[in-house]
Structure 1
């Protein structure tokens, strides 16, 4: 009985870590995204706006996953924001994609808050929380790496 209880407790304690690593992290508002950027002050923040039906988004997501593996979490924060309107499609996509960073389903205000008119869209913030890059359209892994490396070099990290 004690072993079963301990196993259940350990499973529950690891659940938030699994979720934070890349499973659905719940819905998020525009203010919630801004709060996440502020909370990550001292780190470079990469915000990727995508949708499960967007072909260019699907092409760049593997590069974002690879970049998350490359950069230490204490230096760079990645945040995925899905603009899917069909929650079922969103949940299926997140479940089948090996995201290694938190992914949120955007509330309707997110597009207006961040001026998202097309996807994919990538915003990158420097360690002071200032927007350093606003990139609309497909972003290659090399472009992403150059942008992040440049900001890390600026902060001496």
Structure 2
């Protein structure tokens, strides 16, 4: 049953590739991220994006059934280790149907960054998530500056350079 739900969710994401509205798809530039109701794995509500102004925020939407997501987690841990003290905040937002699937995934892959849950999937919809993983990099002013879909090992250096550039920008 869970596998069917995951397949249905994956199919719906693929369907979104062809029907995503241009308004939702274009967040880059001077666009703030959409308001989201997110919670931690324990159910505690997470703070809003406004509270993170002044930091560069790497927001990654992921799911336990996503093979590229498995590859992206060590990279996000490395980013956190390298840049946390320089103003980077990495946040991974889980889109699994079951929180237990996320917890099982994380038990095998411990992380050093916050994991949030988008229970309603409204946040993913408002961001225009159409692939897994989908990454949105928010600058210190609170604007979405870069969108990256998927994760291939060779892309890590380009993402790292972009983050380094945003970290040295003045507010």
* Aligned equivalent of 2:68: 56
Structure 1 unmatched runs, 5+: 1-23
Would you say the 8 A contact 1:47–1:80 is kept in 2?
yes
Q: 1:80 to 1:40 in 2, by over 3 A?
A: same
**Normalization by structure 1: what TM-score?**
0.73
Q: Describe how 1:100-139 pairs up with structure 2 within 5 A.
A: 100-108=112-120, 109-138=122-151
Figure out how many residues of one structure are paired with residues of the other and give that number. 129
2:72 and 2:44 map into 1 onto residues whose CA distance is 22
- Which residue of 158, 161, 166 corresponds with 1:146? 161
- Which residue of 63, 69, 82 corresponds with 2:81? 69
Q: Does 1:99 align with 2:134?
A: no
**Normalization by structure 2: what TM-score?**
0.68
Shift of 1:110: 1.8
Shift of 1:38: 1.3
* Aligned equivalent of 1:84: 96
Shift of 1:143: 2.3
For the residue of structure 2 that corresponds to 1:57, the secondary structure is: helix
Q: 1:137 to 1:28 in 2, by over 3 A?
A: farther
Q: 1:95 to 1:49 in 2, by over 3 A?
A: same
Shift of 1:129: 0.3
1:137 and 1:115 map into 2 onto residues whose CA distance is 14
Bigger strand share: 1
Which structure has the greater CA radius of gyration?
1
Shift of 1:123: 0.3
Task: State the Cα deviation string for residues 101-137 of structure 1 (Å, max 9, x = none).
Answer: 1101212212212111111100001000011101111
Would you say the 8 A contact 2:86–2:167 is kept in 1?
no
Structure 2 unmatched runs, 5+: 1-39
Q: 1:73 to 1:103 in 2, by over 3 A?
A: farther
2:79 and 2:65 map into 1 onto residues whose CA distance is 22
